[in-house]
Structure formats: structure tokens, C-alpha cells
Structure 1
Amino acid sequence: MPTTRRRFLSLAGGVTAAGTIPIVVLRPLNATPTMLNAAIRNFVGEAPIRTGKIKLDIPPLVENGNTVPMTVSVASPMTADDYVRSIHVFNEKNPQPNIGNFYLGPSSGRAQISTRIRLADSQKVVAIARLSDDTFWQAAAEIVVTLAACTEEVN
């Protein structure tokens, strides 16, 4: 069937109108501490999680949850026999409990990652390091957010 000018204009108008309709994505806005614990257990399994060796440097009070600076460092010599395999960061109230996974090796030089994260609300952030001997170490911090991120509303 040949495309006429009238048919082309009606299709183009329909595509333009469809582009102006807001798309609402449903996602869990109220994550819970249970979801945080489940995400951590999914990662470490039944292995014990120790405290120490890892430092979570994040401001305890942030004005804007859209860009929260965070540094995680682990005390490790980073040699072929003793190194950090990975660092995983979890949160309590964002729509997704896992903020990020960072994989390291002996040639990484030092066991440290720095990034910026988004926080939906005041909550607990947990960093877990997996060492080459398959031990898990954690550090946690409570962060107060005055202007939340991740929960923009469509008007």
C-alpha cells in the first residue's frame, strides 16, 4: 500500500503526541532493612561478616541526596597472597539495595574506591569487602539526607 501524504502526516502526528505522554515507572519506593539484609546474605551466603579492616568514609549529613561522595578503603597489602577481591556497597532505603560492586586484584595497587552515590532518604549504608582468603569484612554508616534523591515525582 503506497504511503500518501495524509497517511504520513497522521502517523507523524501520532508519534509526536505519544512523545508528550509522561511515562510512569512503578518501583518500590519503600525499601526495608529486611531487603538490605537479604541482599547482603545473597552476596555472602552463610559466611560470617567481621567488622574492622574496612573504612567507609561518607558524610553523616548531606544536603542533597543526588550526589553523596563516598570512599571505601580496606587495610590490605594487596600482594599476590593477600589482597581484596571485591568491595560491595549496599543501602537500606533506595529502590535497589545494591549501590555498586567493585572488583579488585593484587595489581590494583591499593584497596580503595571513591565515587558519588544517590540516596533516596536518610538511611544506613553498608560496605562489605571480600578478601582473597574468602573472609568478609564490613563497615556501616548512618546518613541523614535533607533533600532526597531517587524519588522524583511526575506532575
Structure 2
Amino acid sequence: MTYSRRKFLQHATASGCYVIAACAGLMTPGQVFAEWAEDYFSPGKLKQTMDRLFAGADIADSTAILLNLPLIAEDGAVVPIKVASTLSDVQSIAILVEKNPVPLAAIFTLSKNAEPFVSAQLKMAETCDVITVIKAGDKLYSARQQVKVTIGGCGG
């Protein structure tokens, strides 16, 4: 296939127009941008964050939530976590770190067809509990595990 100078100039001009339109905000794919829940991710204590997220709803402990976390984290700056569940109709998974300056580490909203599994890297300030809260149907379920942090983390 030959590529003429005319075709090149047409494609370059079209690409330039797309970039300018996107930068100007004229072309914004609404489905792509995630919603930023600023008040959920504000500094505070765990209880305040839980109240903001779940409005004082009852949260039941569940053995149907599987947490895969190290018992001892050699570096608090990178703590791997995997959360899975056998609960049906899982709508969201929230991960909280008890003693972090901002307790909410992540919140995932899942579609109906998604498998209830998430994986992430946490940053932990110090030894504390990692709590996962899953919304399934109209109920909230949680599981927790303590992780001992030896070095690093949010505090230094």
C-alpha cells in the first residue's frame, strides 16, 4: 500500500484536531472517567470513615470473604492483598486500613457479571488490621486480618 503525502497530511490534521478537542474538554468519554469520592478518602479515624461510607448500617462478619494478605509485611510501602468472596450479588468491595491517616485504601464497584475478586497493593503506616467490607444485595459483610509491618509504610 502506498501512503501519499496527501493522506499523511489528512491523518495528521485529523489527529491534531482530536487532541485539541480532547484537551479543550469537547470530547469527554463519560464512561471512562472514574468518580472521585473526595469525602470518603479524607483523613480521619476508621470509625468516621466507616460512618461516611456505610451510614451506620449493620455489618456482619462473614467467613464467605477470603482475604489473602501476608501476616508480616517486610515493607509497609507495598503490601499485596487479594479479596475474593463466595457471596452472591456482590455490588462493591471496600478495603480499609485501620491506622492509616486515610483509612479507606480502595473501593471497587462491580458489575453484575463480574467475579467478586480484586487484587491491590496497600501502603500501611504501622501494624494494624486490614478490613474488607462487601456489599452484597442489601447487606454488608466484613472480614479482617492483622498485618504486622516491620519497616516503611505511610509514616516513613
TM-score category of the 2 structures, normalised to the smaller one: 0.5 to 0.7
In the alignment, the residues of structure 1 paired with residue 56 and residue 154 of structure 2 have an alpha-carbon distance, to the nearest angstrom, of 31
Give CA-to-partner distance per residue, 1:29-81, whole Å, 9 cap, x none: xx88xx1122112211132101112122111111101111101111134xxxx
Give CA-to-partner distance per residue, 1:62-117, whole Å, 9 cap, x none: 1101111101111134xxxxx11100011111121110011102121x10001111
Question: Contact 2:50 / 2:56 at 8 angstroms: preserved in 1?
Answer: no
- 1:147 aligned partner: 151
Identity %: 26
> CA offset at residue 151 of structure 1?
2.2
Of residues 90, 93, 102 in structure 2, which corresponds to 1:96?
102
Query: 2:87 aligned with 1:76, yes or no?
Result: yes
Scaled by the length of structure 1, what TM-score is found?
0.68
Unpaired stretches in structure 1, ≥5 consecutive residues: 1-30, 78-82
- 1:51 aligned partner: 61
Over the aligned positions, Cα root-mean-square deviation in angstroms equals 1.6
Letter in 1 for 2:61: T
Structure-to-structure mapping, 1:61-140, within 5 angstroms? 61-77=72-88, 83-108=89-114, 110-131=115-136, 133-140=137-144
Select the structure with the greater relative contact order (CA < 8 A; seq sep ≥ 6).
1
In the alignment, the residues of structure 1 paired with residue 96 and residue 150 of structure 2 have an alpha-carbon distance, to the nearest angstrom, of 20
Scaled by the length of structure 2, what TM-score is found?
0.67
Letter in 2 for 1:48: D
Give CA-to-partner distance per residue, 1:115-136, whole Å, 9 cap, x none: 11111111111000011x2100
